[in-house]
């Protein structure tokens, strides 16, 4: 094994739409300005450690297939440290400015919590060196509170208080190392914070415990001076039957109920949105209304399969809608486009990791350009504006200003002709305009 995983690749260049080079970007041109901001800054791409460097590509019916010559296949700290070098080589050659990890992806779990912490520290030292060497930054860190059997009933919602304490200790350590590595955020994905059956579940008590857990995390963040953004990542199910953070609306309600709303934003994932029966665009709109869009786990599901397939995003309608949302808020601040995606089990060669990420990055770059074209064109915005124009003056403006009552509305209704169908929704026209600009 050479000291590089990809000795033949220097870096992935931008070659433009006419290039046929599979190891070049056709659309992602980091320095190109879109509405005055570079593509790099709009997109803030991030590579996930767990899928790209730890996923063996096994599935419930078969063993892992991934060929990763730089990995000796053991769970040793040495192998974990070594793997970091190759992970940063890949990420640097790809040109992604960020990465994200779970504590247990980067370092092996020890026999005790103390040993796990020691292992983590040893690998974090290498992560720090590689961050300094390459300039690649940590988008967010997180703790894996779902893989170890101790979390089979959940972590912050476990019926067992010792497990809850263990989970808190693990999150405490994960926040510390995220802080040490200059992470811009920290994500809470409640992998098993839910239930398999309500017959054995005290839902209210579990939710109270979860809120207390998050309050303690907020307190600890302040105590150590960690300025990164906390995110909640909604997902409705899998592995549990029902996860409490099922969608953005449920998360916002939970955060408000427990007085946590100022401390968390959403990390939205497309495949989670669709599992919840929503589109990603729906989840983004709900976030935008509450100023709660933090970061994006950029992937997609397969509409014919009912679970989280975590595929690389290639659908231009999807990336366009995501970028329209991101542009509406003026860009992500601490968040990024984090490829929480894995290559298919059949795509087992190392080079497939490049093809997958290049495709996702180009799909988002195109989405960004198309979103900018839609905004510049203005026809869709005009249709939407006109659709609501009755609220800009008269009785509509009075309602919006809080100056109307049922009595004044009744007076208005009685003194005007009964309203009929007023304007068309123009859905087909809008879809035609999108297709014209895509």
Residues labelled catalytic:
102, 105
Number of H-type helices and E-type strands within the chain: 16, 12
Q: Which does 142 bind (CB under 5 to 8 A by kind): ligand XUL, Co ion, none?
A: ligand XUL
- Residues counted in the chain: 438
Q: Torsion over CA of 325, 329, 332 and 336, rounded to 10 degrees? A: -10
The binder of ligand XUL chosen from 91, 116, 119, 142 (CB under 6 A): 142
Minimum CB distance to ligand XUL smaller for 189 or for 312: 189
Our finding on whether 269 is near ligand XUL (CB under 6 A) is: yes
CA atoms within 13 A on the CB side of 235: 26
Dihedral (Cα; 287, 288, 291, 296), 10-degree rounding: 60
Choose among ligand XUL, Co ion, none what residue 157 binds, the Cβ cut-off being 5 to 8 Å by kind: none
Residues between 49 and 108 that touch ligand XUL (CB under 6 A): 102
Question: How far apart, in Å, do the first and last CA atoms of the chain sit?
Answer: 44
103 forms part of the interface with Co ion (CB under 5 A) = no
Apex 224 CA angle, 114 and 127, nearest 5 = 60
In the complex, the smallest distance separating the C-beta of residue 308 from ligand XUL, rounded to whole angstroms, is 5
CB closer to ligand XUL, 77 vs 139: 139
Helix (H, G, I), strand (E, B) or coil at 152: coil
Report the residue from 340, 341, 361, 363 that binds Co ion according to the rule CB under 5 A: 340
| Under rule CB under 6 A, residue 340 binds ligand XUL | yes
Tokens of 162: 């010792």
Q: What residues between 393 and 412 interact with ligand XUL by CB under 6 A?
A: none
List CB contacts of 327: < 8 A, sequence separation 6 or more.
35, 42, 368, 371, 372, 375
Closest separation between CB of residue 310 and ligand XUL, Å? 7
Residue 235 touching ligand XUL (CB under 6 A): yes
Residue 269 binds Co ion (CB under 5 A): yes
- Round to whole Å and give the CA distance between 235 and 232: 10
| Six-digit token string for 8 | 């033949």
Say if residue 239 is preceded by a cis peptide, omega within 30 of 0.
yes
In the complex, the smallest distance separating the C-beta of residue 409 from Co ion, rounded to whole angstroms, is: 45
Q: How far is the CB of 410 from ligand XUL (least distance, A)?
A: 50
**Between residue 283 and residue 302, which ones bind Co ion under the rule CB under 5 A?**
297
Looking at residues 164 to 203 of the shown chain, list those that interact with ligand XUL (rule: CB under 6 A): 187, 189
For ligand XUL, the binding residues (CB under 6 A) are 102, 142, 187, 189, 233, 235, 269, 297, 308, 340
Q: Which residues bind Co ion (CB under 5 A)?
A: 269, 297, 340
């Amino acid at each position: 094994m050479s000291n590089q995983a990809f000795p033949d690749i220097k870096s992935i260049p931008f070659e433009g739409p006419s290039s046929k080079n599979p190891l070049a970007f056709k659309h992602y041109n980091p320095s190109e300005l879109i509405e005055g901001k570079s593509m790099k800054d709009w997109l803030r791409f991030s590579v996930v450690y767990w899928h790209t460097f730890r996923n063996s590509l096994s599935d419930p019916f078969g063993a892992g297939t991934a060929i990763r010559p730089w990995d000796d296949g053991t769970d040793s700290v040495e192998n974990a440290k070594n793997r970091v070098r190759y992970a940063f080589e890949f990420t640097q050659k790809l040109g992604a400015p960020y990465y994200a990890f779970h504590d247990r992806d980067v370092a092996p779990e020890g026999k005790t919590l103390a040993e796990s912490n020691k292992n983590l520290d040893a690998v974090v030292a290498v992560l720090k060196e590689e961050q300094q060497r390459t300039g690649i930054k940590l988008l967010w860190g997180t703790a894996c509170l779902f893989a170890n059997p101790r979390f089979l009933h959940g972590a912050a919602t476990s019926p067992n208080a010792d497990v809850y304490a263990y989970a808190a200790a693990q999150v405490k350590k994960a926040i510390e190392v995220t802080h040490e590595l200059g992470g811009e955020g920290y994500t809470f994905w409640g992998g098993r914070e839910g239930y398999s059956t309500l017959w054995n579940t005290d839902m209210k008590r579990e939710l109270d415990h979860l809120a207390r857990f998050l309050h303690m995390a907020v307190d600890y963040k302040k105590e150590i001076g960690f300025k990164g953004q906390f995110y909640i990542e909604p997902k409705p199910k899998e592995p549990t039957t029902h996860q409490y953070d099922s969608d953005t609306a449920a998360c916002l309600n939970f955060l408000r109920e427990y007085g946590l709303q100022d401390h968390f934003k959403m990390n939205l994932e497309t495949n989670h949105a669709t599992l919840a029966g929503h589109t990603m665009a729906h989840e983004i709109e709900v976030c935008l209304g509450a100023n709660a869009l933090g970061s994006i786990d950029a992937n997609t599901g397969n509409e014919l399969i009912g679970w989280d397939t975590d595929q690389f995003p290639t659908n231009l309608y999807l990336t366009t809608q995501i970028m329209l949302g991101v542009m509406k808020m003026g860009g992500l601040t601490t968040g990024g486009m984090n490829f929480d995606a894995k290559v298919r089990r059949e795509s087992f060669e190392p080079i497939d990791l490049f093809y997958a990420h290049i495709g996702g990055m180009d799909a988002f770059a195109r989405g960004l350009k198309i979103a900018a074209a839609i905004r510049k064109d203005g026809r869709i915005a005009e249709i939407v504006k006109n659709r609501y124009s009755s609220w800009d003056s008269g009785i509509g403006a009075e309602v919006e200003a809080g100056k109307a009552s049922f009595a004044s509305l009744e007076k208005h209704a009685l003194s005007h002709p009964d309203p009929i169908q007023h304007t068309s929704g123009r859905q087909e026209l809008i879809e035609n305009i999108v297709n014209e600009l895509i």
